[in-house]
Chains A and B, each alone.
Chain A
Amino acid sequence: MPTRDCRCIQCIVPPHILRHMLKSRNPRVRESAMRTLLTTTHLRAERLLLQRGGFLASVVAARRRTVFDCEHRESTDVAAVKRSEGGPKSPDRSVNDAYDGLGYTYDFWKGVFQRNSIDDRGMRLDGYVHYGNGYNNAFWNGRQMIFGDGDGVLFTDFTGSLDVIGHELGHGITQYTANLAYHNQSGALNESMSDVFGSMVKQWHLKQAAKSADWLIGADIFTPGHKGDALRSMKAPGTAYDNPDMGKDPQPAHMKDFVKMPDTEEGDWGGVHINSGIPNHAFYLLATALGGRSWDAAGHIWFGALKQSDAKADFAAFASHTYTVAVTQYGPASHEAASVEGAWNQVGVGIAAPPRSRTRTPPARARNRTRV
């Protein structure tokens, strides 16, 4: 498995050792030490500025959106502010779509999970549109949300898809909770959590019940003339697309079809975008078995399990956490606990040591949840 040694050096090696490394005969050691010292100095200065501004000491309880225009450069450093919180609409549709999508996602997390932005401390939501030329991607870089315009052949503007925005900001939520490692099963869980959150944000915005939702991810990012339906289907993994331009959707829906991939760029870090189909389908099965809205019981069980998980959680560990949360919230004999166990069973993931001795009385908040 490839490791990122620079990251370890930044975290652990104290400055006096780094300064000693600068005198090494090995040029790679000298270069690594210099880079680490420069990066550390930069971060220290950044933190100092933030502290002087009082940002670290206070928790902000309101939306703070800013949308920047990269003007087709592949850089966020020189992007211009095009719309900030409460500001007037822009003549640029991408700016407004990004602004609205960030707002809907913030409102979803605040209203449904009482979470104050990505870090639960009111973190700014910065979106960068028109990144690159015909750039076919959207991603979360750890602090910012980047949107490409798409090439206009296969993909169109990525700001036009609320589930994609919810997916990318979902990576931020995971980063600030379990911080699931982006490799193999924990990486597939990371991807799956983002699909679950992205789909819930869209369903919440559309006020859809679980049974009437499309459970597709990225259905809005294809050009109108293209046959692609979506990037992924949580309802039927492996069926989102099948055409000569895109190939065939490789997602499995069951552990018997788990795809073993190398933990490399070529191998999608162990198939993180492939095997996410398994926990995706488990969530779909749970939400539809419980009925009502996905963000009520099912969403709370999933997010509760994420908060209990550690960075190396695999499917079985996460499944056990979902069961623990369901039993704790609703009781061991509840429909919710049985449905969680049933959903994981249907995708071939066993739950280890179910805590059957817990209380049978569901708390008032869980009992009183509404259904549509």
Chain B
Amino acid sequence: MIQFSEFKLKNGLRVIHQADFNTPLTVVCVLYYAGAKFDAKDKSGTAHLLEHLMFEGSQHIPNFDIPLQNAGGENNAFTNSDVACYYNILPAENIETAFWLESDRMLGLRLNQKKFKVQQKVVLEEFIETCTDEPFGDVWHHLRALAFPENHPYSWPVLGKSPQHVKAITLEDIESFYHTYYVPNNAILVVVGAISLSKTKSLTKKWFGEIARGEKIPKLKFPKGKRKKNVPKILESPVSVEMLYMAFKIYPHAHPQYLVPDIISDLLAGSKSALLVQKLVEEKSVFSNIDVFTTDEMGEGLLVIEAKLQATTTLVQAREAIWQQLSDFKVKGTSPEALAKVIRKNEADICFSDAQILHRSINLANYKISGNAQDINTEIARYRQISTADIVQVAKDIFVSENESTVAYQLEK
């Protein structure tokens, strides 16, 4: 049981505090509800580029890293489709430095064309390193574009739909995004570690209290359009190996069956005895490797099957073999023993994740933004409630052709 407190400032900043005096460290984490889904549809990559620029100094402080490093701390950030999250981990006695730095960059940035152009170049290099030069690094561009309707905010990856999109972003776009979304009423502050609640309260009030509340955040509109017809996208493999990626749309965070696809992914490929591993790697040697995982979006995400083909398998056979197993699974489901085993393994993973203060802080922030921070304490119980009937029902619901998006990398003929 993780005991924590919550409070809210007048400007709308939501705060979570958890005291943990078993560690000499403290984490200060600021999460903005400002992920890539808020990008303009012709300038995707804006949220992520802004994350880079958040380290280029703020209104009263020319450099973010120097004071934090001087305090013995370390920091980083990530942006996903839903949120941008900034975190600092530092010795508890110097915790105020993190409050000072984070509050100042919520108050205002000190950007100019030069810094902007440099970070735009950095992001373009990041694009090449992780998407263009990396074998199969462009798979998310293709999968997301297939799985979601055109202009749906989940249809582009966080880095941006293309280098052209990143190049099209201007400093004014960044500033406008920042002013809209980087406001206290759109943020969550999480403080975990060797610090009392009263100290967290007084430091939060001192440093964040005077930041003005922002305008009401415009509600995100999801285009209603239908996704394209289910036709696998065949690309040329950049290497001597063929790959198959099959994605299935799953439930949004608020859905009662939200956790079930995660368990299904483990039943399919989470261990050596999992269905697809047993049948298609060990027994039939269709694939040399198969992996199944879910993306973790607040809205409808994806369950992805990633399979590396044996040289003797064709892509048509590969996809058929997976569909055959999925069809069987929809009928037979799983045994109570296999389900209990997967749930128990999940339980251990959750415990190990929460044992780290940094993970615990980010988990708390994520639960809060998704609805209720207390969910962190009921997660294990909610997994335990999943029944074999739930598995069959959800499998029948998600593993249908209309819900499939497939990308394949084929060798040159």
Does B associate with A?
no
